[in-house]
Chain A
Amino acid sequence: MKKIKISWLALKNLKRKFIRTFVLLLLVAVVTGTLLSATIFISGMQNALRIGTYRLGADVLVVPEKNESQAKAALLSGEPTSFYMDGDVYDKVKDVEGVKRASTQLFIKPTSFTCCYNVETFLVAFDPSTDFTVTPWLQKKLKKPLADDEVIAGSAMPLMTDDIIPFFGTPFNVAGTLEPTGMKFFDQSIFMTMQAAFEMAEKSKGRSVQPLELEKGKISAVLVQVEDGFTPERVAIRIEHQIEGIKAIASDEVTSTVRRQLAGLLKGILLISAILWILALLMTGFSFYMIVNERQRELGLLRAMGATKTHVFRLIITEAVILSLAGGIAGIVAGGGLLSVSKAVITRNLKLPYLLPSLPVLTELAAGALIFAVITGLLASLLPAVFASSMEPYDAIRKGE
């Protein structure tokens, strides 16, 4: 030890009132942790929504009128569902003005009697001859057309390539697995061809305890891509106008529901965070005011020893920075840990898509949270530090008596 450093002195001062320092540190940690986990959570949902919407690939989804909410639930939260309508809806939809391309899909909800896994899964069958939504990203993974005895599994399914999985008594080879998207519709689904689905239904009558009731020619949904110059909403209205008994859901409508939910959630989280932040700011500021007040004589003595106003100001500010930095780091660790533990529970209850942001984004968010914590400490200690540094040394020594 040669000279005494201000930062070392600040650290010693913080250790002096350990419980008070610990409580303040905890407060900063709670605020930082809450803010960080909320930001990661929101960012994760937006991330999932962006990727999921892109993956959906269709501008309009046409489903039976009475099954609109089931279809939305399937898309948003991957809730398995089964509903069917006549296949001629496809022919009518593709003739509607503004429709560039259309393709059919079947949604099949397997039961525990028909599948070997207890994991909630959702079968989605598509028509490879017309499909423009699933095939592009299946091809990226598979590099060849999907055969009728093959399936592709979502990332959340406990399956590996070359596994064999039976549905309704028909075994299927797992041709590949997909990257995670955060949307259960993709992550918890098994994709097969339309032909495979009808064959599976036919064979299930003799093979399965609970056969699949699916008539040849039925479909669950028609996916539509609109022509340039047409908006999905406008085409959806035309489709509904021309075809009876169906509901045309524009993709924006699906995501806007999530966005509405997200906006509400965001408001709530922001409000809680703001209240917590103001509370932390006031409490830390008040504590630092008390610290300065009870150390008036000591600060006066430091001035008598030759400390300048800047030295005193720096001492108080350094204490605040050390405290908020430590609180910030603790909050980041705790917030991150808490989020990873509770993520599954929250997403299940909220029924919203979620995909953890990438490492660079997470690092940016953590750095932002740390900066936020330090700024909080700086703001809270600013007035007490100005007060401490502006005291006349003799007054400070006398008032501390």
Chain B
Amino acid sequence: MIEVSDIVKSYSIGGQALKAVDHASFTVQQGEIISVIGHSGSGKTTLLSLVGGLTKPDSGKVIVDGTDIWSLDDNSRSHFRNRNMSFIYQFSSLIPTLTSLENILLPTAFGDFPGDVRAYAEELIERVGLKEKTNAYPSHLSGGQQRRIAIARAFINRPSVVLADEPTGDLDEETEQDIIRLFSEMNGALKTTFIIVTHNKEIAGQAARQLRMSNGILTGAA
């Protein structure tokens, strides 16, 4: 479960404070899929980064599974991310010198992962339908395939929360649908919570709930 209360984040541009996120509050139940829609520059990505513990809020609280992540020190927050959260980005987030399998295993470099992580990584790569690309480098994968590998990587730590920032951007419609289907499958199988930031209304419509972001102000939150 995610509880965001009265969170504020502002940037100083040309000596003036610009509120990227302005007193946003919302709650997401465990296993729920929600979408955040809004125009470019509306503050969606900043909101996602605040929830994910990647940028410090000016004020407010983010509680993930009972932990106030901004009350933790940087190390503890990193460990918390490593164990409980994952991110999926619009851009290619794979390391070019690592194979698909190695990219999926990358988060294991930063924490204690019990069990046979390699076997689990192979299971994930099979689940995203790219078993034959296990040892392929990103340069030998299409944009859609790279995104699927990034999704597989997002599940290596069996996260309770996946934060996806425009996960289908730059992809054709068919691949877009594949990815949304994959999210639903993962959500069904692992009861993972998804927050999907998008400006694609069709994608947003497939989420259980929609939040709207405009000029840093969040609306539609329950």
Interface residues of A (CB under 8 A from B): 1-6, 9, 12-13, 15-16, 297-298, 300-311, 392-395, 397, 401
27 residue pairs bridging A and B, Cβ less than 8 Å apart: A1-B102, A2-B108, A2-B117, A4-B108, A9-B109, A15-B97, A298-B95, A301-B87, A302-B106, A303-B78, A304-B52, A304-B81, A305-B87, A305-B110, A306-B78, A306-B107, A306-B110, A306-B111, A307-B78, A308-B74, A308-B79, A309-B75, A310-B75, A311-B78, A392-B55, A394-B55, A395-B55
What is the CA–CA distance of A1 and B110 in the complex, to the nearest angstrom?
A: 15
**B95 near A4: Cβ-Cβ < 8 Å:** no
Query: Given contacts A1-B118, A394-B49, A395-B55, is CB(A6)–CB(B74) below 8 Å?
Result: no
> Given known contacts A305-B107, A394-B55, what 4 new A-B pairs fall within 8 Å (CB)?
A3-B117, A12-B95, A12-B98, A401-B91
**B96 near A16: Cβ-Cβ < 8 Å:** yes
Interface residues of B (CB under 8 A from A): 46, 49, 52, 54-56, 74-75, 78-79, 81-83, 86-87, 89, 91, 93, 95-98, 102, 105-111, 113, 116-118, 157
Least CB separation from B50: chain A residue: A394
Question: Which 6 pairs between the two chains have the least Cβ-Cβ distance?
Answer: A306-B82, A394-B55, A4-B109, A394-B54, A393-B54, A394-B49
**B105 near A3: Cβ-Cβ < 8 Å:** yes
**B109 near A5: Cβ-Cβ < 8 Å:** yes
**A302 near B110: Cβ-Cβ < 8 Å:** yes
What is the CA–CA distance of A9 and B78 in the complex, to the nearest angstrom?
A: 19
Name the B residues within 8 Å of A394 (CB-CB). Answer: 46, 49, 54-55
Name the A residues within 8 Å of B49 (CB-CB). Answer: 393-394
Name the B residues within 8 Å of A2 (CB-CB). Answer: 108, 116-118
**A306 near B81: Cβ-Cβ < 8 Å:** yes
Name the A residues within 8 Å of B89 (CB-CB). Answer: 301, 397
**A308 near B109: Cβ-Cβ < 8 Å:** no
What is the CA–CA distance of A140 and B2 in the complex, to the nearest angstrom?
A: 89
Name the B residues within 8 Å of A392 (CB-CB). Answer: 54-56
What is the CA–CA distance of A304 and B82 in the complex, to the nearest angstrom?
A: 8
What is the CA–CA distance of A11 and B116 in the complex, to the nearest angstrom?
A: 24
**B54 near A304: Cβ-Cβ < 8 Å:** yes
